[in-house]
Chains A and B, each alone.
Chain A
Amino acid sequence: MVDASTSAHGDLTLKNLTKRFGDFVAVDDLDLVIPQGSFFALLGPSGCGKTTTLRMVAGLEEPTSGSIFIGNTDITYEKPYKRPVNTVFQNYALFPHLSIYENVAFGLRRRGVKDVDVQVQKALELVELTHLAGRKPNQLSGGQQQRIALARAIVNRPALLLLDEPLGALDLKLRRSMQIELKWIQTEVGITFVHVTHDQEEAMTMADTIAVMNEGKIEQMGSPADLYDNPRTSFVANFLGQSNLIKGSIVDSSGENKVVDIFGTKISLPASRNHAHDSSVLLGIRPEKIRIQPAGTSMTGNVLNGGVISDASYIGVSTQYQVEMPWGQELMVFEQNDDGTPPLAKGDAVAMSWEPIFTFGLPGDQDANAGSEANPDSE
């Protein structure tokens, strides 16, 4: 019997965590510290190892090597029922033969808790489903089942709550409202949430800290703003939102700002946002940061001329342009329709510019397309 409220507490630490399935390395030497009480997201495409990592923390999968600590307690090889950890499963996994009440009470009863009724009522109130206590899971809608799965986990006050893509099966509107609700519940209850998802918008909305995973490794970890504004790998740059990545070489690294030459044009790159190892660099700029005007307009900041619009899509909120550059690459530009000027048309010659502080630089040897196929929003 485990009493989660008096057992291990503290940060979740993963050290050198590895999981191999035969020859396939699902999780590759992972090092991670998740602070107690935070809302943490493990973000990545399917197959990147995020779910496997979660299952190892839950105890449903045995690590090949490495260790898992909660605070100072080593739980690496503990059985799942001995860990102060609860999981919200992707398909909810509610017990079909038990009522909602008994589902929520399940963990409490196993632990021998005394005031089961009070706790269950409180949990059901938290998810606003007290009126469904007597029903069976198959009588509930998807969204209701999801909330019950959450209540069933939270009622045990675990040190850690794991969520395995819990919103995947819900429609868009419901998903959005559940994201807000989950965030609210987490701040209310103060438990560490570890949320696994492939939806970058979801991760950025809900999490305090995000770790982007790819092929078993962590590409980058930080706050949503950190990851979005200052990506360190092309995978992160392409997986979160969209990026233009242009091959260039650093020609002047003397000052606070580096000067990068891209196919003849000189671009200013702040040194603090440069992650290249040498002079070979992938210059990055997000599409929404680029200003676009008909060719010939004088512009300030980093200026790029010579582009010709190859596609213009009006999306209501914004217009998305594909601009073909003289060296053959197509850049993306998102322009908000906020000044009443008519959109530019296919075939127009354009000039582009952006504020230098938005530029970022990635190592030149990285794959410029990494992460973009995995991102369903990019073509």
Chain B
Amino acid sequence: MSTALLHTGTHEKKAVLSKKKLLPYWLLAPGIIWLVIFFLVPIYQLISTSTQTQGSGIGTYVQTYRFANFIDAITSSKAQLIRSFEYAFLATLFALIISYPLAYAVAFKSGRWKNTLLVLIVAPFFCSFLLRTVAWEQILGEQGLVIKVLRFLHILGAQGHLTATPFAVVAGLTYNFLPFMTLPLYASLERIDIRMMEASGDLYANALTTFRKVTVPLSMPGVVAGTLLTFIPAAGDYINAELLGNPGTKMIGNVIEARYLEIVDYPGAAALSLILMVTILVLVMAYVKRAGTEELV
């Protein structure tokens, strides 16, 4: 990293050097303080709450270092936990399959429309994701055309429905995170020098082999980034499960929300949150180590 700032006159050298050395810390300070207070401290509190138990009065809690909280949490919500990761995994997979050709098309086959198409990929963001999810609920719902067509074609039974199914939840998750998957993929593909693909063709590889052995490996950083940006929020989501699912499709996010806002069991909710967070971190670290990306940020 080259520092664009340079030296000074000899007599000023010592003083300015120390002022300059501190400059990055001054620049970082406000942001770091904010993150420490409003991110680290809450997480720390979360960790300490997770081992507390109900105190004497309602709504008070005492620190008892009860690690059994975690066991309780897992036993009571094991199904939802596993389901969350299943759904997140499926959603990530589908998002990757759908997004990759899309990103490829925009990176290589779009000509003058490239920038416009990029904007169009991001554009759905501009319409509230809740509105879009509600729209899916209505499109796939009883009044929607999709059901009617599928029933007509006998793909669905006469009583068959799409909403309130795991299918709808996964579909909703996939749809919501498509831009998160497409953009990093696009960024990675766009950087590939087209001459490398030409060289591959020159060395007797057909289109499929070139894709497999040149394009895909070179786009891996984008794949890693995109899958991370999709999987992590998907695992903790509960909106899609709420709007598009049924009580049998509840994800861990729904459970945590209920514990916090309805049942008001803070230690239990905290324990669940911690388990979710740690599991995600562990999966991410293992994945990143295997995929080999050094700088995440």
Contacts and interface: CB of A to CB of B under 8 A. Distances in A.
Q: Touch between A and B in complex, CB under 8 Å? A: yes
Chain A interface mostly helix, strand, loop or mixed? Answer: loop
A78 B13 CA distance: 11
B10 to A, nearest CB: 5
Contacts of B7: 59, 62, 77, 79
A224 B13 CA distance: 40
A80 interface: yes
Interface string A43-83: 00000000000000001111000000000000011111000
Contacts of A62: 6-7
Contacts of A78: 9
Interface in A10-25: none
Interface residues of B, number: 6
Interface residues of A, number: 9
Contacts, number: 18
A76 B6 CA distance: 13
B258 to A, nearest CB: 53
Chain B interface mostly helix, strand, loop or mixed? Answer: loop
Interface string B7-18: 111100100000
Interface in B1-29: 6-10, 13
Given A78-B9, A80-B6, 6 more contacts: A62-B7, A76-B10, A77-B7, A77-B9, A77-B10, A79-B6
Nearest to B4: A60
B9 A60 contact: no
Interface string A201-219: 0000000000000000000
A59 B9 contact: no
Contacts of A59: 6-7
A60 B13 CA distance: 15
6 contacts: A62-B7, A77-B8, A77-B9, A77-B13, A79-B8, A80-B6
Interface in B221-263: none
Contacts of A60: 6
A327 B13 CA distance: 61
A201 B13 CA distance: 42
Contacts of A79: 6-9
Nearest to B9: A77
